[in-house]
Chain A
């Protein structure tokens, strides 16, 4: 569990990026921070691994104030994935993935062997292991970034608009894979995006920001869609229009769900799958039961 307590960040130039921000980020769930550019999401994310230190307030991981944790060690225990993958251009894919384990003292040979396994995990062909990042597509680079983030098997994974720079088809694929991964790995994921669709798809918990790191609303996707806190949130999630303003229409005696323009969106079926089955989970290759997350016997700590 990560807890922000009245955190404020004022940069030296006077910009207040985050103002009196409090939030509990539950373990083993995906929390999505969503808001327009400049709303302070990245700053909040980077405070978790002490790339940015708050001006006031405290941040705790499993009850420990991170201000007392040495930053380099803290960062090595937390996965970090960023927009342009942030890979080291002069290192091969396998070495990029092995970077942090090697820093932590794992033998290079072992770290590289583990890197190959991680490539399987994130759906990268092992034949790409000896490539350099510049020889990969954007989507492949992001997968390498995710594999690197997972390399030390961290409990916390920070993702800063990781799929922001890839084309929509690849993005949709990466989003599905993240959900699949999360079912197996059960990380505490903090995911930043400016795309509300992505937030609704991925988030167990969603935090919507206005500017200055001010929270407009926090809750599950269902809660937010059911009861937008204000006009801003309603407009932001688009609950009043388009593909999210759905209503039921009778068609040959059967109820069909249509959007605000009258386009068919689906049909109503009895709710027997339970709340655990989320939209977007329907990968056919996936054998695990919906909602059947194994609860591993480990705490949600960062280190």
Chain B
């Protein structure tokens, strides 16, 4: 308990904000690791998830693979790969990508699932090709949930890169392992606070993006529903549409 004040003292100490091991550098490393992980994860999982959603095939395999990936013990896998491939950036990167894949994949095909079959059927009926249906109809409508998948993947990745500093690597986990070695609880707790803040900021950013990508027509429909359900309708709502 009495570690908290010292943790904030550690955070406030200008010494910890300077130099190659300083907080800005470590935060930068952590963000870079996270970004690289998400980028690779998105490149693998999102097309796969969209393909599964578009064709309706391969769902069983995707669910099973996600289950297996989720069940992997992160630290064990990390050590195993480090023994295999040696110390460096690659082993933890593989582990982190594996960790990010299930939520990314789930977001992508959940998004595709949420698109009304009738809308897709209509798009095909008027002469859209499969690709046009995918890019002009399914993807825009699925995007909020796709981003949602990236959002939850991002949270996990930010949190878990901390563990990978064990190897040893940079990032905010470095402080935790270094602090542990010399029983500097202020440093450990301070770094944990930074990880949490980073995660919250990233989550907030994705929440914002997620809202921005909801197609306006879908939003418009939603707000109209809300309005018609409200007993007291304001006169400033959309003009009446009785002509049809």
The answer to whether B141 has its CB under 8 Å from any CB of chain A is yes
B244/A137 in contact, CB under 8 A: yes
Q: Which residues of B contact A46 (CB under 8 A)?
A: 125
B127/A89 in contact, CB under 8 A: no
Q: Return the contact of B126 from the options A75, A128, A137, A140 (Cβ within 8 A).
A: A75
Docked Cα-Cα span, A135 to B226, in Å, equals 12
Residue from B126, B136, B224 having most chain A Cβ neighbours under 10 A = B126
A58 to chain B, nearest CB (A): 21
A11 to chain B, nearest CB (A): 15
Docked Cα-Cα span, A142 to B220, in Å, equals 19
A279 to chain B, nearest CB (A): 24
Chain B stretch 108-153: residues in CB contact (< 8 A) with chain A: 116, 118-119, 121-129, 132, 136-137, 140-141
Interface residue SS majority, chain B? helix
A121 to chain B, nearest CB (A): 14
Docked Cα-Cα span, A141 to B224, in Å, equals 15
Given contacts A89-B141, A90-B140, A143-B244, contact A134 B224 (CB under 8 A): yes
Q: Return the contact of A139 from the options B126, B137, B220, B244 (Cβ within 8 A).
A: B244
A82/B122 in contact, CB under 8 A: yes
A92/B244 in contact, CB under 8 A: no
- Total number of A-B contacts with CB less than 8 angstroms? 101
Docked Cα-Cα span, A142 to B119, in Å, equals 14
Q: Return the contact of A89 from the options B128, B129, B217, B238 (Cβ within 8 A).
A: B217
Q: Which residues of B contact A92 (CB under 8 A)?
A: 217
A50 to chain B, nearest CB (A): 10
The answer to whether A84 has its CB under 8 Å from any CB of chain B is yes
Instruction: Select from chain A the residue with minimum beta-carbon distance to B240.
Output: A137
Q: Return the contact of A86 from the options B121, B221, B224, B238 (Cβ within 8 A).
A: B121
The answer to whether B241 has its CB under 8 Å from any CB of chain A is yes
Docked Cα-Cα span, A43 to B145, in Å, equals 33
B27 to chain A, nearest CB (A): 37
The answer to whether B235 has its CB under 8 Å from any CB of chain A is no
Residue from B125, B128, B222, B243 having most chain A Cβ neighbours under 10 A = B125
Docked Cα-Cα span, A90 to B140, in Å, equals 8
The answer to whether A223 has its CB under 8 Å from any CB of chain B is no
Sample of 8 more A-B contacts, CB < 8 Å, known A84-B118, A100-B127, A133-B221: A86-B118, A88-B122, A90-B140, A90-B215, A99-B126, A132-B216, A132-B217, A137-B242
Q: B-side interface residues toward A, CB under 8 Å?
A: 116, 118-119, 121-129, 132, 136-137, 140-141, 215-218, 220-222, 224, 238, 241-244
